[in-house]
């Protein structure tokens, strides 16, 4: 098992451990650097001043805070979806969708490596490639009874092992079947698409679309979201699973609304793109990282890479996920916070390792 470390500070481009040692930090999922974004911190402080530290109520209560609805409208416009519904986490967003779809008398099809947030009825892991899964699923749906409903569950991009998925293959799904496509965009929202708007607008419109995501990655908000058509989200909102759960702190959704209104996320996305454009030509091609063009994570299963980076004052992640017996993956992440000298140092160490 890889050694773990404690820190009393929030990691940014660097992190200081409990013993006072400083490392360059190339990991985590704060892709846009919102944890240290000054504008975001200012909006969050305004939110806490206005709304206090939490909202102890069901969002379906008699008295409702408008800021949640306003943030949802802004978020739906950002991802180019008809509507959005926010909840306390990305995991809960996925499970709310699964609980809703359990009632549709549908057959579920799970993509290889799909995140546990989308594990639903009688989940069994799928082996093989993602592309083969899509092709086999299309064949199975075409052979099914015309009235049989189907639910396809997949991530928008592979994680922790980085892998791109050709979402255009879903356009080949038949038009004469009731088909739900559920996509976990937790590692795409804020990073993939124009200005980091995620993948919703890239999905085929002839399907019933529901996209879930954690907001606590690129967007920096402790919460989750479901985007899709307003009617379906209205049904989910009326469920006891939504009504009985507490919302995230309203101050964060005030900050989310302000970030979206003032274009904070596209600015950070542009900085992330600049960092990647600077770093990629310096990356040692002999290391054969798993990577996706334009995406800030780089993965390796070479067990000796993680300790070598550590010896050179570079800390990244290397742990089994999501199951404790899964093979550990060394995952390097470039963020919007990194400076050129950080990227130069990482490239230098990777070349010396290679």
Per residue in 69-91, pLDDT (tens digit) is 999 999 999 999 999 999 999 99
pLDDT category at 329 given cuts 50, 70, 90 is confident
**How many alpha carbons fall within 13 Å on the CB side of residue 324?**
1
Other CB atoms within 10 A of residue 120 CB: 21
The tens digit of pLDDT for each residue in 11-26 reads: 999 999 999 999 999 9
CA 5 to chain CA centroid, nearest Å: 24
* pLDDT value of position 310: 96
120-136: average pLDDT: 95
Radius of gyration for the alpha carbons in the chain, expressed in angstroms and rounded: 21
Q: Where in the chain is the domain with CATH 3.90.1150.10?
A: 14-30+264-353
The tens digit of pLDDT for each residue in 232-285 reads: 999 999 999 999 999 999 999 999 999 999 999 999 999 999 999 999 999 988
CB burial of residue 78 (10 Å; 0-12, 13-18, 19+): buried
On the question of pLDDT at 320 being above 80, the answer is no
Q: Where in the chain is the domain with CATH 3.40.640.10?
A: 39-261
Helix (H) or strand (E) holding 225: strand 224-228
pLDDT category at 295 given cuts 50, 70, 90 is very high
pLDDT category at 1 given cuts 50, 70, 90 is low
On the question of pLDDT at 322 being above 80, the answer is no
On the question of pLDDT at 117 being above 70, the answer is yes
On the question of pLDDT at 150 being above 90, the answer is yes
* pLDDT value of position 102: 95
* pLDDT value of position 208: 97
Contact (CB, 8 A) for 33 and 336:
yes
296-306: average pLDDT: 93
Q: Which CATH architecture describes the domain 39-261?
A: 3-Layer(aba) Sandwich (3.40)
Give me the chain's average pLDDT, please.
Answer: 95
- Please tell us whether the domain made up of 14-30+264-353 is placed in CATH 3.90.1150.10: yes
CA 275 to chain CA centroid, nearest Å: 20
């Amino acid at each position: 098992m890889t050694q773990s470390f404690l820190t009393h500070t929030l990691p940014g481009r660097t992190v200081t451990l409990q013993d006072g040692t400083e490392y360059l930090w190339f990991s985590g999922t704060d892709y846009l650097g919102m944890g240290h974004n000054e504008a975001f911190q200012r909006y969050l402080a305004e939110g806490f001043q206005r709304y206090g530290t939490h909202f102890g109520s069901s969002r379906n209560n008699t008295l409702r805070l408008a800021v949640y609805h306003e943030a949802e409208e802004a978020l739906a416009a950002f991802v180019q979806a008809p509507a959005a519904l926010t909840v306390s986490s990305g995991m809960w967003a996925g499970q709310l969708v699964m609980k809703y779809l359990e009632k549709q008398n549908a057959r579920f099809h799970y993509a290889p490596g799909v995140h546990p947030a989308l594990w639903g009825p009688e989940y069994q892991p799928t082996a093989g490639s993602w592309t083969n899964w899509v092709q086999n699923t299309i064949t199975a749906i075409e052979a099914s009874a015309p009235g049989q409903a189907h639910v396809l569950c997949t991530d928008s991009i592979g994680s922790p092992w980085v892998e791109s998925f050709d979402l255009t293959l879903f356009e080949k799904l038949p038009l004469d079947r009731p088909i739900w496509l559920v996509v976990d965009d937790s590692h795409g929202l804020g990073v993939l698409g124009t200005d980091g708007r995620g993948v919703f607008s890239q999905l085929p419109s002839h399907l019933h679309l529901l996209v879930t995501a954690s907001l606590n990655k690129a967007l920096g908000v402790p919460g989750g979201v479901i985007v899709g058509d307003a009617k379906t989200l209205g049904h989910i909102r009326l469920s006891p699973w939504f009504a009985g759960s507490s919302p995230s702190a309203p101050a964060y959704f005030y900050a989310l609304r302000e970030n979206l209104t003032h274009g904070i996320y596209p600015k950070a996305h542009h900085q992330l793109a600049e960092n990647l454009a600077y770093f990629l030509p310096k990356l040692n091609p002999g290391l054969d990282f798993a990577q996706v063009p334009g995406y800030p994570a780089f993965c390796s299963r070479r067990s000796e890479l993680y300790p070598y980076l550590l010896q050179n004052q570079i800390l990244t992640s290397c742990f089994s996920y999501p199951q404790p017996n899964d093979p550990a993956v060394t995952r390097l992440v470039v963020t919007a916070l990194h400076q050129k000298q950080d990227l130069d140092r990482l490239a230098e160490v990777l070349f010396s390792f290679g």
